[in-house]
Amino acid sequence: MYESSEGPVERCDLSVGWAGTGRMGVAMARRLAEAGVAVAAWNRTAERAAPLAAYGAEVVGSLAGLRSRDVVFTMVADEGALERVLLGEDGLLRAGPDRGPGIVVDCSTVSPGASRALQKACAERGTAFLAAPVSGNAKAVAAGRLGVVVSGPRAAYERVAPLLRLVGRSVTYAGKGDSARLVKIAHNLVLGIVTQALAETAVLAEKGGVPRRAYLEFLNDSVLGSEFTRYKTPALVSRDYTPTFTPVLLRKDFDLGLDAGRALDVPLPLAAATAQLVQSCVSTGRGAADFAVLLELQAAASGLTLAPDDGAVSDGLTTAPEPENPGAPS
């Protein structure tokens, strides 16, 4: 058995590769390595994969080093990067002395159309392709709170399911096609819309004299609170925009969502309005910050100078430290 934060997980005999070790990829690959899975990892910028060696992973210098693996996970920024990883000059499916991997599990967020094209290219080369986008950031991965939605050949899913359960707390199989892509795109529309709602209402509360911390504490403990509102609260209170997910990446996902709405004749008025605000974050030089920076945009539009608040706040994943003298008068 493998050991995960959720308890023992059935072992599988698959050799594993990982391509793409950005913020999310490195955290997910680390989960596998720490559970005892023999992982070989590659990243276009080699130094970003190097930290995985400390957890027992083998770091390889090229994608050729992953071709003979039974299963390769991919986690890259966009569909162009995914196409290069799979079909590029030195890609995983490039003809050579090593066969391609038996299964590719792609955890990136790409369009359903691109996913279908790559699934077809994999099938033509004898490789099963699973779309497996995720919900959560690197902190959620470390805390064992990641969600995974999967679509593709059922037999391939059953083979890699033990590995997916090491990476994610919840794993949902959505069907044989590329339906997981639409699930993730819809999910990320909610992500942006809810964050904008938090920004608007926090600014409304603060301009009316209510501290952001007090408003968000009440919201989080109410029926409207969620795991997501809780783990975005520290950023909104302290205005710490160390990136977990940037407006540039969120803009890409809103573009995918609005494209899907047009293709399926579904009006998306809230998504369209939020997309413009995400674009404004990028246009005003905030594109590399965390997407919680929507708060700053809302405050500026409201003529509000946000009050500082550097006190510890729980994100729902870790416990905020107690004050040094909790009984002392303030």
Identify the residue whose tokens are 């779309």.
Answer: 131
Domain boundary among 117, 142, 177: 177
Q: What is the CATH number of the domain that holds 35?
A: 3.40.50.720
DSSP-derived 3-state class of residue 162: helix
- Would you state the pLDDT for residue 311? 83
The whole-number pLDDT of residue 13 equals 84
pTM over the 0.95 mark: no
Which residue among 154, 177, 200 closes a domain?
177
139 and 254 share a domain? no
Number of structural domains (the chain) is 2
Last residue of a domain, one of 177, 192, 207: 177
CB of 41 within 8 A of CB of 52? Answer: yes
pLDDT of residue 310: 84
CA distance 131 to 181: 7
Averages of pLDDT over each 10 residues, the chain, 330 residues:
61 92 97 95 97 98 96 96 96 77 96 95 95 95 95 97 95 95 97 99 98 97 97 96 96 97 98 99 98 98 95 78 44
Q: Give the domain range for residue 263.
A: 183-301
- Beta strand 16-19 with 71-74: parallel, antiparallel or unpaired? parallel
Q: Residue 20 and residue 106: Cα distance in Å, rounded?
A: 10
